[in-house]
Amino acid sequence: MKEKYSESEMNMIAEVARMYYEENLPQTTIAKRMFFSKSKVCRYLQKAKELKIVEIQINYPLKQSTTLETMLKEKYQLKDAIVITDSSNDENKDFIIKRLGEQAAKYIDGLIKDGDSVGISWGRTLNQMVQQMKPKTSKKVRFVQLTGGSAEGYHNGLDTANLVRKMTEKYNGTQTMLYAPLYVESDIVREELMKEPIIRQAFKEINHLNYIITGIASIRAKELSGTWAGFLNDQSKEAMIKKGAIGYMCGHFFDVAGNPIDDHLEKNIIGIQLDQIRKNQNVIAIAGGVDKARAIHAALVGGYINYLITDSKIAEKILSFH
């Protein structure tokens, strides 16, 4: 059974944690100041972690490759490129995603400003960015859901709606939700949904975003990541591959040249469209892992990306393509 603490007890736990972590006082000194036993101080410090009064984060040194960044900017006419490198463990996909999320959080917090409207997509890397986002100051930022929601059973922690809510909380900002699924089978159902005032308002805001933050996925991944999980079966996936699909972003599939795939799936997506993404001048893509190299390259060639945050291995792979 979970222990409950009064407000005064919570304050004492927080004070013990403050003295230990901020003042660097020994536990014996804290015990004397608070008239506690040393064992009680130790117990309070443990409770501070369990109650998330104290959250410990290990900041790995995030080195960047300025050479690769410059080459990417020049080759793809990017406004900026961030390439993390020199990881002793960069074969580990989860480790790469965590590092990319950390770098993206720091970079994006320095980019967005009061009054901005920011569109959010989905994915594991974006989830890491949101988790590690620590705004230096509160900003009057509006976060907008870029696509409809996931199918039932998908890991909602990575869903675009959940990420929008979390970003709004982090910045004490405002939000616009898109109350619809990512995909519907019926053309008629989609047409009727698009008439709804709350959905029309969301699309109106999507047309005037200051920034778009998105991930990029490979269609050849063993498991479909993102909101397509639950909507797209193996047969449909193979059909898309036969039509030339190499990857997708914000739900939209594209080929090696970044061209949209002509398919009924594309026509019945509820969310931002590829032409809207291309028209926006501040699209930030966060993606890593060599298995995504072709998909990221296609998105770059297609002119969808203005800022790229990635790792050195994928940067080298992308630059090797002709």
pLDDT tens string 122-174:
888 999 999 999 998 888 999 999 999 876 655 556 788 999 999 999 999 99
Distances (CA, A) of 80 to 104, 108, 256: 12, 12, 22
Contacts of residue 172, Cβ cutoff 8 Å, sequence gap at least 6: 138
Residue 311's nearest CA partner among 108, 115, 81, 29 is: 81
In sequence order, which ranges of 22-92 are alpha helices (DSSP H)? 27-34, 38-50, 66-76
Whether 17 contacts 48, CB under 8 Å: yes
Domain layout of the chain by residue ranges: 7-50, 63-320
Buried b / exposed e over 132-141, threshold 16 CB at 10 Å, is bbebeeebeb
Phi, psi for residue 165 in degrees, rounded to 5: -60, -45
CA 128/CA 288 separation, integer angstroms? 12
pLDDT band for 320, please (50, 70, 90 cuts): very high
Position 167 scores a pLDDT of 96
Residue 159 burial (CB count, 10 A): 22
Q: Does domain 7-50 have CATH number 1.10.10?
A: yes
The contacts of residue 111 (CB under 8 Å, 6+ apart) are 211, 284
Return the amino acid letter for 287. A
Which range among 105-109, 161-165, 262-266 shows the weakest confidence by mean pLDDT? 262-266
Q: How confident is the model at residue 304 (pLDDT cuts 50, 70, 90)?
A: very high
Instruction: Look up the pTM and report it.
Output: 0.79
Contact of 44 with 12, CB cutoff 8 Å: yes
- CA 78 – CA 13 distance, rounded (Å): 48
Which residues lie closer than 8 Å to 18 by C-beta, 6 or more apart? none
Residue 49 has pLDDT above 80, yes or no: yes
Contact (CB, 8 A) for 113 and 207: no
> What confidence score (pLDDT) does residue 1 get?
46
pLDDT grade for 97, boundaries at 50, 70 and 90? confident
pLDDT in tens, 233-246: 778 888 889 999 99
Structure-token pair, residue 170 = 């982090």
Mean of the pLDDT values across residues 19-32?
Answer: 90
Give the architecture (CATH level 2) of 63-320: 3-Layer(aba) Sandwich (3.40)
Neighbours of 300 (CB within 10 A): 21
User: What are 183's strand-pairing partners?
Assistant: 269
Please provide the average confidence, as pLDDT, over all residues in the chain: 88
User: How far apart, in whole angstroms, are the C-alpha atoms of residue 240 and residue 169?
Assistant: 37
CB 194 within 8 A of CB 271: no
